[in-house]
Amino acid sequence: MKLYYIPGACSLASHIVLHETGATFEIERVDGATHTTETGADFYKVHSKGYVPALRLEDGELLTEGPSIMQFIADNSGKTSLSPSLGSIARAKLQSGLNFISTELHKSFSPLFKKDSTEDEKTAARKKVALRLDDVEAELSDGRAFFLGEDFSIADAYLFTVANWTKPTGLGLGERPNLIAYVGRVAERPSVQAALLAEGLINKAA
Separation CA 159–CA 100 (nearest Å): 10
81: exposed, middle or buried (Cβ count in 10 Å: 0-12, 13-18, 19+): middle
CATH topology of domain 2-80+192-198: Glutaredoxin (3.40.30)
The residue extents of the domains of the chain are: 2-80+192-198, 89-188
Separation CA 109–CA 122 (nearest Å): 9
Average pLDDT, the chain: 97
Domains 2-80+192-198 and 89-188 share a fold: no
CATH topology of domain 89-188: Glutathione S-transferase Yfyf (Class Pi); Chain A, domain 2 (1.20.1050)
Residue 101 has pLDDT above 50, yes or no: yes
Residue 205 has pLDDT above 70, yes or no: no
Model pTM above 0.75: yes
Dump pLDDT digits (tens) for 13-56: 999 999 999 999 999 999 999 999 999 999 999 999 999 999 99
